[in-house]
Amino acid sequence: MLDAAGVVLTPDEQRSLEVADCGLSQLDRIGVQILTYVNTERVCAKELVLFPHQTCPEHRHPPFGGAPGKEETFRCRAGTVYLYTEGPPTPEPQCRPDGVFTVWHEIVLRPGDQHTIPPDTLHWFQAGPEGAVITEFSTQSRDDLDVFSDPAIRRATVVADSA
C-alpha cells in the first residue's frame, strides 16, 4: 500500500514497520501499521497504513512531562479516512465499528486533505473500502501513554496462539 501511494522506503525502514493490533489479535479489523521516520522531544513524523475498513480505536494523547499532550496532523495520501473527533455528532456516520466509541463528529479525508487534532482530544479513525495511507506530523509521540476508551485495548501487539 505504501508503494502504491508513492512512498519509497529504505530497507531499514521496511524492517522497522510496526504492526499494532491493540492487543486484540484482530488485525484485519482493529489496529494500524506504523512507520516512524523521526520522533524527538519536539517533532514526530509517521506513515500510518490501514487495511480496508481497519479501525484505529478511540484514544487520546494526554499531557505528560509538562507538555499538553500530542498534537497531530493527519494528511491523507491514499484511500479514504473517516476520522471521528469530539464535536457535534454526525447524524449518519459512515462507520459503525464494534467496541467502545464515544465521539461521532465525522471528518472525511481523501488524498490531499488534512486535519489537525488538538492535544488530549478523543479521536478514532477507519479506512474506507480501499484502505488508506496517512502521513502524520505531530509533536513528540509517547504511544505508551495513549489512553484508550475501551479498557480491553492495549498498545502492545499480542500474538494469539493458533493451536
Quick check: pTM over 0.85?
A: yes
Reported as type and span, the H/E element at residue 41 is none
The domain segmentation of the chain, as residue ranges, is 14-148
The CATH architecture one would assign to domain 14-148 is Sandwich (2.60)
Which residue do the cell numbers 509538562 mark? Answer: 66
Non-local CB neighbours of 13 within 8 Å, separated by 6+ positions? 35, 37
Average pLDDT on 41-46 reads: 97
Nearest 5°: CA angle at 10, between 6 and 12? 140
Strands, DSSP E only, in the chain?
18-20, 32-39, 44-50, 55-60, 72-85, 105-109, 114-117, 123-138, 147-148
- Judged against a pLDDT cut of 70, whether residue 135 lies above it is answered with yes
Non-local CB neighbours of 99 within 8 Å, separated by 6+ positions? 30, 55, 57, 58, 150
Residue 158: pLDDT band by 50, 70, 90 thresholds?
low
Residue 163: pLDDT band by 50, 70, 90 thresholds?
low
